[in-house]
Amino acid sequence: MAVTHSFVIGREQCFQQIERLTKSHSLHSSESLCRLLRYLAEHSLDHPGVALKEYQIATEVLGRPPGFDPQSDSTVRVQAGRLRVKLAEYYNHDGANDPILVEIPKGSYVLSFHLRGKPEAAVAQPAPRLEVAEKKPESRPFNRRWAIAIGTLSILLIVSLAINGWLMSRDHGQAVAAQPIPTAYRVFWDRFLTGPQEPLVVFSNGSFVGRPETGMRYFNASSDAGAFVLDHYTGVGEVLAIHQLDRVFSMLSRPLNVKRGALFTLDDAKNNDLIFVGSPSENLTLLDIPGTREFVFKRLDSGPRKGDLAVINVHPQKGEPADFLATPAHQPTVQDYAVVALLPGLDPSRSILILAGNSTFGTQAAVVYVCREDSIKELLRRLKVSKPADLKSFEALLHVKIAHGVPVVEDLVSLRNRNN
């Protein structure tokens, strides 16, 4: 006779634990891992006992294209491994006293939920396969014919799955082969594809005072002391720029983390490859790390354009002006200047890419320039670079033409190699 003590955890308690995990110090800064954790939890609770495939996770959670090949791309395995480490970190520190343990058993992508401590602390209500159980098997003879039948079916199932997996792998491989990634993307973005952490995109969000419905203006430290500051707005160019970057990195099978400038920390600068979207006039964290030396953003303190943001040409070459200015603020913007700069990070093994314009349209143009194959090819040709190892630090200046609030032309007008 079998004796079973079963203690189930309610579905609501499981989701509450998942939310506690996503808001924890261990996980809250990684949106991709939080998204993966929620997805695995929903699948495990809604479809108990049903296995998840890497392809399914890659395309539905991690933004991979339909041609994703799990045989050649380890993204899902890497992300699942990182999530296991973060869960262990949480339960060893902040969650040491949590009643519910969440785990990802190795070799599986199905979450398991376990009660910690005394079983009577559990909430007893119907729930899918969430148990802390102690079971003693019954002692009864097993029908030999059933064993043979089950064994035969198991073999047929394994063969069927193997054939299906081979066919899927072949189809995925053919899809990838049909859409090869252009070499220019691989060369330019290589250093952001190989780091231990996902690249961090830091977008500008300037400080404003006022109210959205009655009008806002940039915060002025000298006249707005004590005023309530709004720091959760950004330009349309920054929004569209992040979309462009996400598209390119999805093609390159590399997830991105995104953070607004007000939340950026120096720890981020030490641990991540960084992509700054927006000029230092709004992306103020750029002021705290090594920045550009040849093309520097600065507000003019004299002349007819006093107070306007300009790109200062620190070492003008023959025929070049000392500064580059966008269309005056009181006129429709028809031109801008933008900087594309690849620099070493605080940690020499990390890199910083600055994509910034005098205006939000210039910023958008800088990002579009490094997300388009023909312009990347032009930049690499001017830098005389043909393979990733040859790409060193540089600063480039773009002239941007704008029509109806949309950048339509980006011309590379000046380029400087840097000796770090």
- What percent of the chain clears pLDDT 70, i.e. is strictly above it? 80
- Which residue is associated with the tokens 């002239």? 399
Average pLDDT of 3-16?
A: 66
Average pLDDT of 250-270?
A: 86
Cβ count within 10 A of residue 339: 26
**Of the candidates 215, 217, 213, the residue with the CA atom closest to the CA atom of residue 229:** 217
**Of the candidates 345, 368, 356, the residue with the CA atom closest to the CA atom of residue 395:** 356
Helices marked H in 252-327:
266-271
From first CA to last CA, the distance across the chain in angstroms is 76
Query: Are residues 43 and 53 in contact, defined by beta-carbon separation less than 8 angstroms?
Result: no
Q: What is the pLDDT of residue 315?
A: 94
Helices marked H in 325-392:
360-371, 373-383
Average pLDDT of 129-149?
A: 46
d(CA 219, CA 229): 7
Give kind and range of the element (H or E) at residue 106. none
Q: What pLDDT band is residue 420 in, cutting at 50, 70 and 90?
A: low
Least confident of 150-154, 248-252, 319-323, 407-411: 150-154
Query: Would you give the DSSP letter of residue 64?
Result: -
Q: What is the pLDDT of residues 269-298, one digit of tens each?
A: 888 899 999 877 666 666 656 688 999 998
Query: Are residues 73 and 252 in contact, defined by beta-carbon separation less than 8 angstroms?
Result: no
Sheet of 335-344, strands arranged across = 257-260, 200-203, 274-277, 351-357, 335-344, 394-403, 406-417
HSE-up of residue 247 (Cα within 13 Å, Cβ side): 12
Predicted TM-score (pTM) above 0.85: no
CATH superfamily of 184-417: Chitobiase/beta-hexosaminidase domain 2-like (3.30.379.10)
Average pLDDT of 124-128?
A: 38
**Tokens coding 139:** 């002692």
- Which residue is associated with the tokens 């720890």? 267
DSSP string, 161-208: HHHHHHHHHHHHHHHHHHSPPPHHHHHHHGGGTSSSS--EEEE----E
Q: Tell me the β-bridge partners of 397.
A: 339, 414
**Tokens coding 158:** 């394994």
Sign of CA dihedral 175, 177, 179, 182: positive
Cβ count within 10 A of residue 212: 9
Question: Is 90 exceeded by the pLDDT of residue 184?
Answer: yes
Question: Is 70 exceeded by the pLDDT of residue 153?
Answer: no
Average pLDDT of 118-124?
A: 40
d(CA 418, CA 420): 5
Average pLDDT of 289-316?
A: 88
Q: Tell me the β-bridge partners of 341.
A: 354, 395
Sheet of 323-325, strands arranged across = 295-299, 309-313, 323-325
Sign of CA dihedral 202, 205, 207, 211: negative
Give the CA distances from residue 179 to residues 67, 175, 194, in Å, rounded to whole numbers and listed in that order: 8, 7, 21
Helical packing angle, 31-46 and 75-92, nearest 10°: 90
**Of the candidates 254, 143, 198, the residue with the CA atom closest to the CA atom of residue 29:** 198
Q: What pLDDT band is residue 113 in, cutting at 50, 70 and 90?
A: confident
Query: Are residues 38 and 225 in contact, defined by beta-carbon separation less than 8 angstroms?
Result: no
Query: Are residues 205 and 282 in contact, defined by beta-carbon separation less than 8 angstroms?
Result: yes
| Opening angle at CA 205, ends 240 and 335, nearest 5 | 55
The one-letter amino acid at 48: P
Domain ranges of the chain: 3-135, 184-417
Q: How many helices (H) and strands (E) does the chain have?
A: 10, 16
d(CA 44, CA 34): 15
**Tokens coding 82:** 């990182």
Question: Is 60 exceeded by the pLDDT of residue 137?
Answer: no
Q: What's the mean per-residue pLDDT of the chain? A: 81
d(CA 172, CA 326): 47
- Which residue is associated with the tokens 């992040």? 242
Q: What is the pLDDT of residue 312?
A: 92
HSE-up of residue 179 (Cα within 13 Å, Cβ side): 11
